[in-house]
């Protein structure tokens, strides 16, 4: 997986909503995430992953240029909780511990 600063095709964000993680029903965090998404969208495409219960709200506070996609999520830190993909990987050159498939848990 490339580092955050490496070239990529799109930025993915996960909509904050867990009341055990975010104060005031996550509303301040949601406003901030929407502003961050708008800032990022000036230079690259943005997709926000959001639960069914929050989809309408997220869609209403984000511009039409931002994709709002309904999905099940557990937290807003996508790098830790979302599936990851890698392209053009030289699997033979990786140490066995790095050959773990994030999606399936199987080694290659």
Above 90 in pLDDT, residue 86? no
Map out the domains of the chain as residue ranges.
11-79
pLDDT tier at 27, thresholds 50, 70, 90: very high
Contact 51, 69 (CB under 8 A): no
pLDDT tier at 85, thresholds 50, 70, 90: low
DSSP string, 6-73: S--S-EEEE----TTTSSGGGHHHHHHHHHHHHHHHTTS-EEEEE-TTTHHHHHHHS-TTSEEEE---
Q: What is the mean pLDDT of residues 81-86?
A: 60
Could you read off the pLDDT of 57-73 as tens digits, one per residue?
Answer: 999 999 999 999 998 87
CA distance 37 to 12: 9
Q: Among candidates 58, 43, 48, which has minimal Cα distance to 9?
A: 43
């Amino acid at each position: 997986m490339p580092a955050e600063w490496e070239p990529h095709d799109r930025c993915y964000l996960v909509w904050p909503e867990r009341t055990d993680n975010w104060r005031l029903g996550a509303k301040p965090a949601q406003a901030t995430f929407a502003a961050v998404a708008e800032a990022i969208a000036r230079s690259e495409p943005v997709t926000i992953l959001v639960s069914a219960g929050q989809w309408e709200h997220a869609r209403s506070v984000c511009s039409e240029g931002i994709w709002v996609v309904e999905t099940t999520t557990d937290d807003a830190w996508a790098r830790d909780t979302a599936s990851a993909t890698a392209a053009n990987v030289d699997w033979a050159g990786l140490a066995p511990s790095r050959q773990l498939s994030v999606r399936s848990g199987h080694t290659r």
